[in-house]
Chains A and B, each alone.
Chain A
Amino acid sequence: MSAMTVLRCWLALMLLLALTTGLAFAPLGSATLFVSLTVAAAKALLVLLLFMELKAGNSLIRAFAAAGFFWLMIMIALTAADYTHRTDVRVPLDNPAD
């Protein structure tokens, strides 16, 4: 990795940070979190591929790097599947009956 790559990657990260902060104030409604997490994923990919040298790494190391995120996706998908399909009424956190 050259110094110029580091500089370009840093500039791209700063631009994405400005973009995501700007978009957070836009009237996107419930899409806000989805949009900001998409930009976060782009930033993370830049760091993973360039700063952490996965772009130049061998496939065994890439597979190990991907494994953690792969299992995380499964955990989040199954947790979200549970919570989005619950039909029981949640207990209000305020004014508990005591």
Chain B
Amino acid sequence: MANPTATVPSTSNPFGDELRGARTAKPCSLVIFGATGDLTKRKLVPSLMGLAKDGLLPPAFAVVGFARRPWTDDGFRTELADGVKSFGRPDTGTHFDALADAFSFHQSDFGETAGYQALAKKLDQIDRTRGTAGNRIFYLATPPSSYSAILQNLAATGLSTEKDGRFARVIVEKPFGRDIVTARALNDQVRAAFHERQVFRIDHYLGKETVQNILALRFANGIFEPLWNEKFVDHVQITVAESIGVGSRGGYFEESGIIRDMIQNHLMQVLTLVAMEPPAALAAEAVRDEKVKVLKAIRSFRPEEVDEATVRAQYTRASFAGEECKGYRDEEGVAKDSVTETYAAVRLQVNTWRWANTPFILRSGKRLPRRVTEVAIHFKQPPHLLFEGGKPLMPNVLLLRIQPDEGVALRFGAKVPGPDVRIRDVRMDFRYGTAFGGETADAYERLLLDAMLGDGTLFARGDEVEEAWRIVDSIVAGWKQSNRRPDDYACGTWGPERAERLLGAGRAWRKP
């Protein structure tokens, strides 16, 4: 049999339009470092099978699991089959059965160069037997402490090098550092092995349909964008709330806190999509350039400003949802005198022509009443109040619900039927689940496909990550200098009282 990678480039495929519309990726191998971990079983492989079900996997495709444990190919496949069955979309099990022989396991220590040399040979062999054409994607699904060794070895063995039209890409899981210094160091390590265009920093929030819908809502509709500025928007609230506590992750959480765990990445990403200027094109660099401009327009806090512009707090023991919940400082792995925040609210100002004087208020917390992620655009009052004796009405709110009950709602005032002129809030509601049905692809499906296609639009760029850390670092530095301990809030409440003052007069937090 001849070399299958020796394809003849065609510039005149008479059926080429069939491929263009379908976002079909080129043949490739995916190497997952840390393949014995939960992420591979619960997310990555079930998502790959979702792509297979939708016909979106490349026709020639292979997965190599790379890990320290002494697993066999068969053991690896059995574990993955179980994962697809438990965590995959319905009917994806048959696709795994059909593709099972495309999965293999490679045992090696992450720091052992010989393991990478053997991996290179294995990938060459896969290219010959499965037609994967020398294209490789490396997925770092390991703790960040292993990144350095993996990246150095990929570079040392030439696996990160692109040549002869073959691509080599790396997908990096968050956290991207724990402050700007470590983020820069990580970026330097990544860039020593890969060019920025080869790097895909994954934040699964950006793969959610409803997050992408922020761009669609803003730029595919004529009615919203004219109002999307400081003339009409009073303020913006972005909330990521969780009802669970830190559970068994107390030790990890002590080192990060909610600001590093959620605000630096998920909330900042959502903020940039809400606040960015229209990009020149829906292309990776154009979108990411605009997102970075938003972050650059937020200046770092001076230490003395932090107490006034932020609130941090810890949950305390309380009865919540029918059970007695521990306070944060009673959780396993948490110091009794911990000052790590489980709730943070931050008032940011995007210093641009569009957003001057319109605060963006971000909050995230654990043990809040319910799990919800939303963006609430609060509009200004009408200039002249005709109704109800001129007293202020509830402001119009455009609500972008990211999870659960994904959708968009608009709150506005309507006349209550009857002889009196009274105004009551009503809501126009669009829900993804009802308009498009319940089964939507997992965020990882979209992001894995984009990485195969080389489309970085929904991935964080190095400078974006560093800018977000610059802002967060200035807050953390202010907290460190402050004498104020974190406030308390009871489990099952929407945070500490002091958070109300953050909004300013006449404004109130939503209780979603």
A and B interact: no
- A binding-site residues for B, Cβ under 8 Å: none
